[in-house]
């Protein structure tokens, strides 16, 4: 049964189900990752590739959400680098 669940998860990820989307709730650590995590909602996403400005998108694969490759605007009047957010489990 556990193997079936793992296969289903891989299949869903292959279909692009493993996306960070506008409206998703994530855990965010303020002060550049130093604060305790808080649950927030994503209201904007930019793929910056490490630059100051990027391309606004509605969704991005979680594989691309690392370091400073992506920034997000949050419903708490803050923004964050990808390294400051994580998926809710």
Residue 73's domain spans which residues? 20-87
Give domain status of residue 34, yes or no: yes
CA distances (Å), origin 72, targets 10, 37, 39, 78 = 26, 15, 14, 9
Quickly state the pLDDT bin for 4 (edges 50, 70, 90). confident
Give domain status of residue 33, yes or no: yes
What is the pLDDT, as a whole number, of residue 29?
A: 96
Number of domains in the chain: 1
Give domain status of residue 9, yes or no: no
Give domain status of residue 15, yes or no: no
Task: Write down the pTM of the prediction.
Answer: 0.80
* 82 burial type by CB count under 10 A (0-12 exposed, 13-18 middle, 19+ buried): buried
What is the pLDDT, as a whole number, of residue 16?
A: 57
Quickly state the pLDDT bin for 5 (edges 50, 70, 90). low
Quickly state the pLDDT bin for 52 (edges 50, 70, 90). confident
Give domain status of residue 1, yes or no: no
Does the pLDDT at position 1 exceed 70? no
């Amino acid at each position: 049964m556990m193997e079936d669940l793992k296969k289903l998860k891989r299949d869903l990820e292959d279909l692009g189900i493993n996306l960070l989307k506008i409206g998703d709730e994530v855990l965010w650590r303020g002060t550049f990752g130093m604060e305790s995590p808080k649950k927030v909602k994503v209201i904007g996403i930019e793929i910056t590739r490490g630059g100051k400005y990027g391309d606004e998108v509605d969704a991005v694969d979680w594989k691309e959400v690392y370091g400073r490759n992506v920034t997000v605007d949050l419903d708490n009047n803050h923004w964050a680098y990808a390294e400051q957010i994580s998926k809710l489990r």
